[in-house]
């Protein structure tokens, strides 16, 4: 076995063979079952984690609740200083953490490092924001009155993150939450518990060096019962959930029942329209990276290509050629393009989707299948595949978290946009065109209905500076850049009367 220096990286990140999966910040404890983390890259046991029990959850939540009144009084730029230090530590640990992400989750080393880069970027963004959490002032209709609005911290923010972005999604939420004056409780996917532990170890250093109380950044590795507790808990002011539409629907309903706030980042079914005016070189790279990068396990992965009939055959031939050149193998080896799926359950779902697609009449121009033997002993490596389909197929309407690309034909752009929008999900979308009118139409009111719409870029790889999220069954939430911080705060409108009389609004007279 080639080790890729993973043993040293684990050591540098404070991971040993047996770990404790619950933390209130710097203190750790755990009373739940032992979870074993296997790498999908080589099937090896990486390490064990003692997970959290329901009682442990109570301890973490109680610490968070207790820390909030103190933390919210710390000036926002001072909270930003904590985030700045966190970002610096991430810079130091980038190589080790990126490698662990690649090894435990299975994405390519480049993408693992990219994910850590997103963490660093959001920290920088949050530090700047910590001096800008601004509200509007407006003119009152009454004399000698002042009106303005301000944003206050919410309280405890619960973060439930998915396996596919094991470190970045948490940092988007935590960095913003912190500068907004909130404390966080993190429930990572138990499939990537070691990545979470590594992050917690990094943030614990910051907390310790700044003598911060327990409870500001809690974490609990556990199964869905812990997630359910966090969601139902009235003490969780905001639940930020990333995961499937199926689970997200339950989370959204549960949180709404108690009038809590939620940010939902659910499934995508992202398409690229390749127009007759597209640069085909760019289109092929964008489409192939979008479809096979992260082995098709991003919410923003390209699932569908909607191709103009005049370039359809050429695009098809070039895709087949490009897929023929893909190297599938250990993601820590930088010569490989495609790594494994997260686990064998994901492999079964991939196989079922291929089967369903065939039953519905899909025609595979690049065949799928599971890879065996040699370097594929984990059983998690699959072949990226391409099928010609109709957009209306049930399987095409559904998000399969795997490298299956559906292609279809169109004749006029209105039809293409209609197809692109005609799925239940609404996360990311793109058009490849050199024609200004086409690009503008795609971005217009009658264009893409997604939260993200790109021109001459694929569907994945969004920068943290923009608001990230989508419409319809994607859940409507927004994370990371732009003015997304407002979701992490409560808004208050203030009117101050500095006159000596009490004039009522709307000119109402009330004399006594
Ligand atoms: C996700 O798949 O959960 O745009 C997030 C991208 C990344 C984020 C993806 N920046 O692909």
* Spacing, Cα 66 to ligand 1 middle (Å): 33
- Nearest-atom number in ligand 1 for the CA of 299 is 2
Candidate of 300, 461, 464, 478 to mutate for ligand 1, largest count of ligand atoms within 8 Å of Cβ:
300
Q: Distance between CA 270 and CA 458 in Å, rounded?
A: 9
pLDDT at 303: 98
pTM as predicted: 0.97
Could you give phi then psi for residue 407, rounded to 5 degrees?
Answer: -120, 150
Give start and end residues of each alpha helix (H) in 258-343: 280-292, 312-324
Mapped onto helix, strand or coil, the DSSP state of residue 189 is coil
In eight-state DSSP terms, residue 434 is S
Structure tokens given for 38: 């296997």
Dihedral sign (CA 196, 184, 77, 463): positive
pLDDT the model gives residue 434: 98
For residues 497, 499, 500, 506, the Cα torsion angle rounded to the nearest 10 degrees is: -60
Q: Which residue, by CA, sits nearest to atom 6 of ligand 1?
A: 461
- Say if CB 152 and CB 204 are below 8 A apart: no
Ligand 1 proximal residues by C-beta, below 6 Å: 164-165, 242, 298-300, 460-462
Of 123, 180, 195, 299, which is the active-site residue?
299
> Could you tell me the distance, in angstroms and rounded to a whole number, from the CA of residue 464 to the centre of ligand 1?
9
Instruction: Please identify, by atom number, the ligand 1 atom nearest to the C-alpha of residue 268.
Output: 2
What is the per-residue pLDDT for 261?
98
State the Cα–Cα distance between residues 45 and 162, nearest whole angstrom.
20
Between CA 418 and CA 414 the distance in angstroms is 6
Residue recorded with tokens 């050429």: 314
Atom of ligand 1 nearest to the CA of 452: 4
DSSP line for 196-216: HHHHHHHHHHHHHHTTPPTTS
- What lies within 8 Å, CB to CB, of 435 at 6+ separation is 275, 277
Chain centroid offset of residue 147 CA: 37
Output the pLDDT for position 3: 83
299 as an active site residue: the answer is: yes
> Count of CB atoms within 10 A of residue 62's CB?
15
Tell me what pLDDT residue 1 has: 53
Calculate how far, in angstroms, residue 468's C-alpha sits from the geometric centre of ligand 1. 8
Contact, 188 vs 166, CB < 8 A? yes
Does 380 qualify as catalytic in the annotation? no
pLDDT tens per residue across all 512 residues of the chain: 568 999 999 999 999 999 999 999 999 999 999 999 999 999 999 999 999 999 999 999 999 999 999 999 999 999 999 999 999 999 999 999 999 999 999 999 999 999 999 999 999 999 999 999 999 999 999 999 999 999 999 999 999 999 999 999 999 999 999 999 999 999 999 999 999 999 999 999 999 999 999 999 999 999 999 999 999 999 999 999 999 999 999 999 999 999 999 999 999 999 999 999 999 999 999 999 999 999 999 999 999 999 999 999 999 999 999 999 999 999 999 999 999 999 999 999 999 999 999 999 999 999 999 999 989 999 999 999 999 999 999 999 999 999 999 999 999 999 999 999 999 999 999 999 999 999 999 999 999 999 999 999 999 999 999 999 999 999 999 999 999 999 999 999 999 999 999 989 999 999 88
Ligand 1 pocket test target in 299, 470, 474 with most atoms within 8 Å of CB: 299
- DSSP, residue by residue, 110-141: HHHHHHHHHHHHHHHHHHHHTT-----EE--S
| Confidence (pLDDT) at 512 | 87
Dig out the tokens for 458 from the structure: 């694929």
Q: Among the options 265, 438, 473, 479, which is catalytic? A: 265
């Amino acid at each position: 076995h080639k080790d890729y220096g993973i043993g040293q990286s684990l050591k540098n990140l404070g991971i040993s063979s047996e770990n404790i999966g619950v933390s209130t910040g710097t203190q750790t404890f755990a009373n739940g079952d032992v979870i074993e983390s296997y790498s999908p890259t080589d099937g090896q046991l990486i390490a064990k984690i003692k997970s959290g029990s329901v009682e442990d959850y109570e301890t973490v939540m109680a610490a968070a609740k207790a820390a909030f009144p103190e933390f919210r009084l710390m000036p926002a730029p001072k909270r930003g200083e904590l985030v700045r230090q966190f970002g610096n530590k991430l810079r130091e640990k980038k190589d080790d953490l990126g490698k662990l992400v690649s090894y435990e989750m299975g994405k390519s080393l480049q993408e693992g490092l990219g994910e850590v880069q997103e963490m660093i970027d959001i920290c920088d963004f949050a530090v700047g924001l910590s001096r800008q959490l601004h509200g509007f002032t407006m003119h009152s209709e009454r004399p000698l009155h002042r009106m303005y609005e301000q944003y206050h911290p919410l309280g405890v923010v619960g973060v439930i993150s998915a396996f596919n972005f094991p470190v970045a999604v948490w940092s988007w939420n935590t960095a913003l939450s912190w500068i907004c004056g909130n404390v966080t409780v993190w429930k990572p996917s138990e499939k990537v518990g070691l990545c979470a532990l590594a992050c917690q170890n990094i943030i614990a250093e910051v907390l310790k060096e700044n003598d911060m109380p327990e409870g500001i950044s809690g974490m609990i590795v556990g199964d869905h019962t812990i997630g359910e507790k966090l969601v139902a808990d009235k003490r969780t002011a905001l639940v930020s959930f990333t995961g499937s539409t199926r689970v997200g629907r339950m989370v959204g309903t549960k949180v709404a029942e108690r009038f809590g706030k939620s940010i939902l980042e659910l499934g995508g079914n992202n398409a690229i329209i390749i127009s007759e005016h597209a640069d085909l070189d760019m289109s092929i790279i964008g489409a192939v990276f979008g479809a096979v990068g992260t082995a098709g396990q991003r919410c923003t992965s390209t699932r569908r290509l909607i191709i103009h009939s005049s370039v359809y055959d050429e695009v098809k031939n070039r895709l087949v050629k490009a897929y023929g050149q893909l190297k599938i193998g250990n993601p820590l080896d930088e010569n490989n393009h495609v790594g494994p799926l997260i686990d064998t359950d994901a492999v079964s779902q991939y196989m079922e989707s291929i089967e369903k697609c065939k039953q519905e009449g899909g025609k595979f121009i690049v065949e799928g299948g599971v890879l065996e033997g040699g370097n594929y002993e984990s059983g998690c490596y699959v072949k990226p595949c391409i099928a010609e389909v109709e957009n209306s197929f049930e399987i095409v309407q559904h998000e399969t978290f795997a490298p299956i690309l559906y292609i279809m034909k169109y004749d006029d752009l209105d039809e293409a946009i209609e197809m692109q929008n005609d799925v239940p999900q609404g996360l990311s979308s793109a058009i490849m065109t050199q024609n200004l009118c086409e690009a503008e139409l795609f971005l217009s009111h009658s264009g893409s209905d997604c939260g993200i719409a790109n021109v001459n870029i694929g569907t994945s790889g969004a920068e943290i500076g923009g608001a990230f999220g989508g419409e319809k069954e994607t859940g409507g939430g927004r994370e990371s850049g732009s003015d997304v911080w407002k979701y992490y705060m409560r808004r208050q409108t203030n009117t101050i009367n500095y006159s000596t009389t009490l004039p009522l609004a709307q000119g109402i007279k009330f004399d006594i």
